[in-house]
Amino acid sequence: MKNKELFQRAKELMPGGVSSPVRAFKAVGGEPIIVSRAKGSRLWDVEGKEYIDYLMSWGPLILGHAHPRVVAAIEEQAKRGLSYGLTNQYEIELAQLVVSSMPSVEMVRFVSSGTEATMSAIRLARGYTGRKYVVKFEGCYHGHGDSLLVMAGSGVATLGIPGTPGVPEEIAKLTLVVPYNNVEALEEVFNKYGEDIACVIVEPVAGNMGVVLPKPGFLEAIRDITKRYGSLVICDEVITNFRLSKGGAQELFGRDPDITCMGKIIGGGMPLGAYGGRREIMEKVAPEGPIYQAGTLSGNPLSMVAGIATLRELFELNPYDRLEALTIKLISGIRDILSHKGIPHRINHIASMFTVFFTDKEVYDYATAKTSDTDLFGRFFRALLREGILIPPSQFEAWFLSTAHTEEDIALTLEKIDRAVRSL
């Protein structure tokens, strides 16, 4: 069947025809593609059209689609059972890999998604400190939990307002929002509410307003201020864990958060999230302590073996330098193409993730990210899709490379992007 026919059917059965909103392509226009299969760096829709994929399932697939080692592990485990509802040996093995890799994590609890990880981490921080307020940064996305779906108001530091119907104002008011990379605003909100602030949750590298890097001293200031007031730091590494380095962003930047949230790569393409941290904090989680969190499918053996296979392959390959070099090659080519066409742009990147912002301003927070020309991005996205290049269907997301991408893929991608940009 055609993409369009299937999507029309999907819209009759699922809200917007999707299981997650951005897949509907409303931010970029045009009809969504319906995926049939994927392998390596390539993805095919139901009409048989092939795409070089830089979406990579929004980041988890650092080894590419259907990596043989990961597929073999899942196939073998499926024969032994899909779910047990009891602890399995692979939870222990994956926990050991995580604890030995992430510098600040002494104990870990597995859940089924990044959202579950951040929701649980917030509850743990509140329970551990006995405080109610949470500080987050404007433009950082930490999943769709009520406490975290909050937008910033005006001024340098405001009480949050609900970012969606369904979040009561009373809950939203417990979240304090300040601009990313703004230490003065953070100081101001702590001066006012510090004794009641349970935690600051931060993406060490923002990935959901597009890639935005921390300014020098920003992450250090968060640690210093929270220590001064007895609050915790939650490092949301759902995107960056095992993406930027073996030990994630905290290893790269030399940070020591109290709690770390993980997801995406840790599951190797299967649904999996985790949160972990210092032993004294994690021992407050039930059944060891009084702070309750549970999940029927937590520690699912299929997700565990996919995560183990992915991390072991990553640690053996140590592909980070090669991935960054390939990413820089792609970015340099895109920059040349856009500059030649006279299109204002900024490209923010770290390791194997980057965003092309259609703005002439430096992008260092949500306000500057929002200066991007989203109409132009939509045209750019659709032109690339016609050429067989798949990127995130949103200006405010990251592109990802994988070990499956080759020099030849980059060369072909740049040819196609050049053609696409000339057609704008």
Distance in angstroms (rounded) separating the CA atoms of residues 266 and 379: 34
pLDDT tens digits along 319-376: 999 999 999 999 999 999 999 999 999 999 999 999 999 999 999 999 999 999 999 9
Q: What pLDDT, on a 0 to 100 scale, did the predictor assign at position 152? A: 37
Residue 409 annotated in active site: no
pLDDT tens digits along 133-174: 999 999 999 998 888 877 533 233 344 555 678 888 888 889
Asked if residue 273 has pLDDT above 80, the reply is yes
Q: Name the one residue in this structure whose structure tokens are 């921080």.
A: 125
Are 353 and 211 within 8 A, CB to CB?
A: yes
Distances from the Cα of 353 to the Cα of 59, 92, 135, 320, 323, angstroms: 9, 30, 26, 11, 9
Domain 68-316 carries which CATH code?
A: 3.40.640.10
Q: What pLDDT, on a 0 to 100 scale, did the predictor assign at position 301? A: 98
How far does CA 362 lie from the centroid of its chain? 22
Asked if residue 262 has pLDDT above 80, the reply is yes
Are 181 and 214 within 8 A, CB to CB?
A: yes
Cis-peptide into 287, omega within 30 deg: yes
Look up residue 293 and give its amino acid. Q
Q: Please count the residues of the chain.
A: 424
* 83 DSSP assignment: -
DSSP string, 142-199: --S-GGG-EE--SSSSEE-EESSTTS-HHHHTTEEEEETT-HHHHHHHHHHHGGGEEE
- For the record, the structure tokens of 172 come out as 């939203």
**Annotated catalytic residue, options 264, 364, 409, 418:** 264
Average pLDDT value for the chain: 95
Strands 197-202 and 161-162 come out as: unpaired
What is the CA angle 147-149-151, rounded to 5? 115
Sign of the alpha-carbon torsion through 319, 320, 325, 326: positive
Q: What pLDDT, on a 0 to 100 scale, did the predictor assign at position 147? A: 81
Residue 292 annotated in active site: no
What mean pLDDT is predicted for residues 406-424?
A: 97
Assign a CATH topology to domain 3-66+319-422.
Aspartate Aminotransferase, domain 1 (3.90.1150)
pLDDT tens digits along 41-62: 999 999 999 999 999 999 999 9
Distance in angstroms (rounded) separating the CA atoms of residues 271 and 156: 37
**Annotated catalytic residue, options 90, 128, 133, 141:** 141
- As a dihedral over the C-alpha atoms of residue 152, residue 156, residue 158, residue 161, rounded to 10 degrees, the angle is -10
**Annotated catalytic residue, options 45, 53, 146, 236:** 236
Q: Could you tell me which residues come within 8 angstroms of residue 153 by beta carbon, excluding any fewer than 6 positions away?
A: 159, 160, 161, 177
- pLDDT band for position 207 (50/70/90)? very high
Domain ranges of the chain: 3-66+319-422, 68-316
Residue 180 annotated in active site: no
Q: Please choose, from the candidates 162, 231, 228, 206, the residue with its C-alpha nearest in 3D space to the C-alpha of residue 364.
A: 206
Q: What pLDDT, on a 0 to 100 scale, did the predictor assign at position 338? A: 98
Asked if residue 40 has pLDDT above 50, the reply is yes
Distance in angstroms (rounded) separating the CA atoms of residues 133 and 171: 10
Q: What pLDDT, on a 0 to 100 scale, did the predictor assign at position 156? A: 32
Q: What pLDDT, on a 0 to 100 scale, did the predictor assign at position 217? A: 97
